[in-house]
A = this chain, B = another copy of it.
Amino acid sequence: MKPIDELKRRLLEIAHLSSALALLHWDQEVHMPKKGGASRALVIAELTGLIHQKLVALDVDRVLTKLQLAVKKGTLKGKDKVIVLETARTFERERKLPEAFVRDMAETISKAQSVWATARAQNNFTLFRPWLEKIVALKRKEATYVGYRASPYDALLDAFEPDMTTQEAARILHDLKDFLVSFLKELQSRPQAAKQRLSLKATFPIAEQKKFNAVLASEIGFDLAAGVIEESTHPFTTNFHPHDVRFTTRYRTDDIIHAIGSTIHEAGHGLYEQGLPAEHFGTPLAEAVSLGVHESQSRMWENMIGKSKPFWRYFYPKLKKQFPEAFGKITLEDFYHAINRVTPSLIRTEADEVTYNLHIIIRFEIEKELIEGSIAVRDVPLIWQSKVKEYLGISVKDDAHGALQDVHWSAGLFGYFPTYTFGNLYAAQFFAAMERELPVTALLAKGTFGPVREWLRKHIHSHGKRYTAGALVKKVTGEPLNSRYFADYLKKKYRDIKK
């Protein structure tokens, strides 16, 4: 067998085990009975260990080394070259982390997550503090193992947004912050549109909501013969293969807008996964470029499309028809204004399009300094409060609504938060490029989502990791990632709404 084919064979084995692992996680969130948790954790640990072993064994008989040499010599090119380089990237990272460290990290975050849940429920940062300190110490150690050029945060960011540097991220987010803080003040100084708050007294039966959401996901192109929609407390998307992509959404009987937003968001992720090239399954060519680009797909569908006027010009009559009691007397205009209301709030996951990124920037600034060692864990709550006051203009009432609100840090996810904002920036930049080629507004207003989806598929989904995120955004939009398009998008949208 040629080394490249041997590598592909090994990668496919790993991909199959990873599919099984993804199913174990999915089932745990969606279907597993309460008492199944303890044994499920052991099954997950077993399979995770096996996958790690197989990853580390990728270079057995120097298969990977030989292929890397062939890339250097220029004898291996094109897609195979990408497979080798991207696999080597994963392999190097996996190889550099000693098994004892990986085990320590896994055990720590497993325990820390339940401590965090209690700490948040009891609004008690002190309870969580020693755990967060241990995690920060471990993440700093991880950065040392992995290696980095300028900041240890580079090594962590790289796991989620490959090739992005701390310096570049800081520059982009700083620009964005300057714009957002002043833009938010500008919006708040204008008189509020009168009917921006919908007071829906109706109830929305879950079964009815499910039907509407399934139609919605399916109309924008999520293939239900290659996917599943379920319910869970925290909506998420997972994939076992491009032909089996699953996401969850969350329903409240007193509010359908929430479920719709969550469905379109997750369907956006799902469309990316369904759009990856199945023929390359197992290789990096069938994997998403980066978390940022992944999030660009969900945020574009959720906000730029799913909260746009033309989109609702098409869907609002359907919503009215299915829920006449709730929406019968509300005009499209009022509905549109209501779903685009901007109000600074304390909880990230409930934030609007404008303030959302300020929440992210606060987390980025804090976690970067934690990892660089320039602030201490004990100071986090106060720093959090002062940043919220400064950027959002509101006061944090307690840590449960402040530094304790997100699960990420307790799960060891450092370098993850900024990818949410990169997602918004990529989305705006891609969307602007798409608008140069397609009459997007007209298509959305007619409910003709095919060309939009196919544009995304052609320019983004189908490439997998063929290009790095940085190369892809330049290839598709002609520019490196920046905040200008997103700022322009917000200005245009809210100028229209608030006038």
Which of A's residues lie within 8 Å of B, judged by CB? 13, 16-17, 19-21, 23-24, 27, 31-36, 38-40, 42-43, 46-47, 50, 223-228, 240-241, 243-244, 281
Known: A23-B24, A43-B19. A35 touches B225 (CB 8 A): yes
Are B19 and A243 touching (Cβ within 8 A)?
no
Can you report 10 A-B residue pairs in the complex whose CB atoms are below 8 A from each other?
A17-B46, A20-B21, A20-B24, A20-B43, A31-B228, A35-B243, A36-B226, A38-B243, A39-B241, A50-B50
Closest to A46 in B: B16
Closest to A40 in B: B244
Query: Which residues on B sit within 8 Å (CB–CB) of A228?
Result: 31-33
Q: Which of B19, B21, B32, B243 contacts A244 (CB 8 A)?
A: B32
Supplied contacts A16-B47, A23-B23, A34-B226, 18 more A-B pairs, CB within 8 Å:
A16-B43, A17-B43, A19-B43, A20-B21, A20-B23, A23-B24, A23-B27, A27-B27, A31-B31, A32-B244, A33-B224, A33-B227, A33-B244, A35-B226, A35-B244, A39-B244, A39-B281, A43-B240
What is the CB-to-nearest-CB distance from A45 to chain B, in angstroms, rounded to a whole number?
Answer: 8
Are A225 and B34 touching (Cβ within 8 A)?
yes
Query: Which residues on B sit within 8 Å (CB–CB) of A19?
Result: 39, 43
Closest to A31 in B: B228
Are A243 and B24 touching (Cβ within 8 A)?
no
Query: Which residues on B sit within 8 Å (CB–CB) of A35?
Result: 223, 225-226, 243-244
Closest to A14 in B: B46
- A17 CA / B38 CA spacing, docked (Å): 15
Q: Closest 7 interchain pairs by CB?
A: A36-B244, A39-B241, A16-B46, A35-B243, A35-B226, A16-B43, A34-B225
- A273 CA / B216 CA spacing, docked (Å): 41
What is the CB-to-nearest-CB distance from A270 to chain B, in angstroms, rounded to a whole number?
Answer: 11
Query: Which residues on B sit within 8 Å (CB–CB) of A21?
Result: 20
Closest to A27 in B: B23
Query: Which residues on B sit within 8 Å (CB–CB) of A47?
Result: 16-17, 20
Are B225 and A13 touching (Cβ within 8 A)?
no
- A40 CA / B39 CA spacing, docked (Å): 23
Query: Which residues on B sit within 8 Å (CB–CB) of A24?
Result: 20, 23
Are A226 and B39 touching (Cβ within 8 A)?
no
What is the CB-to-nearest-CB distance from A70 to chain B, in angstroms, rounded to a whole number?
Answer: 28
